[in-house]
Amino acid sequence: MMDHLYLGSSRIQVSVIGMGMWQAGGTMWGADVTDENCIQAVIRSSELGVNLMDTAEAYGGGHSEEVLGKAIKKVGREKLVVATKVSGSHPRYDDVLKACDLSLRRLGVDQIDLYQVHWPDPWQQIPLKHTMKAMEKLYHDGKIRAIGVSNFGVRDLEEARSILSHAEIVSDQVKYNLIDRQIEEEVLPYCSRENITILAYVPLAQGALTGKYGQNLKPTDEVRKDNKAFSESNLREMSGLLRVLRDTANKRGKTMAQVALNWLLSHPGVVPIPGAKNAAQAEQNAGATGWSLTKDEIRTLTETSDKTKLDYF
């Protein structure tokens, strides 16, 4: 039985692990990604109790939303919590409203459960108040059930929250995994204190924590080919952490990916949203739930991660 938690202060219950749909945006994740396989991944995830599906208008110019929309028809709208995002390049008030209508159409739903601002606007210098007031209007109009953000630091969160008058920010979607733990300094403590759920994207570091890749095998797809986590020096630096992941996985009868995801699950209020290219990967992701690492295992993984210093320069 899949465990659930409330999304921040909302009454929306989500599975403790979700599914990210970035890979459904097209072939940028590799030629082995197909729409039908992504749909089957959603179906299998739902069968295993995973209800949170996260996409964005920016993924393949809306293609990911269309794929999820097809999956929703097969699974049933009532079985899924649908989350999507307005692009950070659409910060103007009217643009947010238009983007939401287009997302609703592509998803084939009457209401989005969680609508998120994908990232703060760093280029057009549109005041955040315009974006957040539009989000609040969508909330009051019933087009969305809850407001979330993504890639927001504490200062961004505080500003965004101060603008809203009659709604709360219930989640912040940020990068978080065993080799990317920057949010632990400010964002994670703040969100924990303020009851804002963390949606952890790339929770497997785009595959670097799965044990699949090494010096002789590196991803070549458009998204990951330039990811410095897969450089020879960084792969060497990660060898100790990967060894602990492998040893723990072997001892527990799990995969390395499941151990890495379960480490995230040990943090209250953190919901990892790994992607899945097919039903088999969906099954593996769901298998990260229903069991718990011991305190000693968590401590060993954390301490080994502390010693792993990757070079992203």
Active site members: 59
Asked if residues 203 and 174 have their Cβ atoms less than 8 Å apart, the reply is no
- What does residue 5 show for φ and ψ, rounded to 5 degrees? -145, 160
- Residue closest to 116 by CA, chosen among 162, 147, 141, 143: 147
| Chain position carrying tokens 């410095």 | 228
Which among 179, 183, 180, 159 has a CA at the least distance from the CA of 169?
159
User: Rg for the chain (alpha carbons), in Å?
Assistant: 19
CA atoms within 13 A on the CB side of 48: 23
Percent helix, strand, coil in the chain (nearest 5)? 45, 15, 40
The closest alpha carbon to 174, from 146, 199, 206, 209, belongs to 199
Where are any strands of DSSP class E within 73-187?
81-86, 112-117, 144-150, 169-175
Rounded to an integer, what distance in angstroms lies between the CA atom of residue 311 and that of residue 272? 24
What is the C-alpha to C-alpha distance for residues 283 and 88, in angstroms, rounded to an integer? 32
Do 38 and 4 form a contact (C-beta atoms < 8 A)?
Answer: no
Give the Cβ contact number of residue 251 at 10 Å.
Answer: 10
Task: Return d(Cα 216, Cα 214) in angstroms, integer.
Answer: 5
DSSP letter at 106 equals H
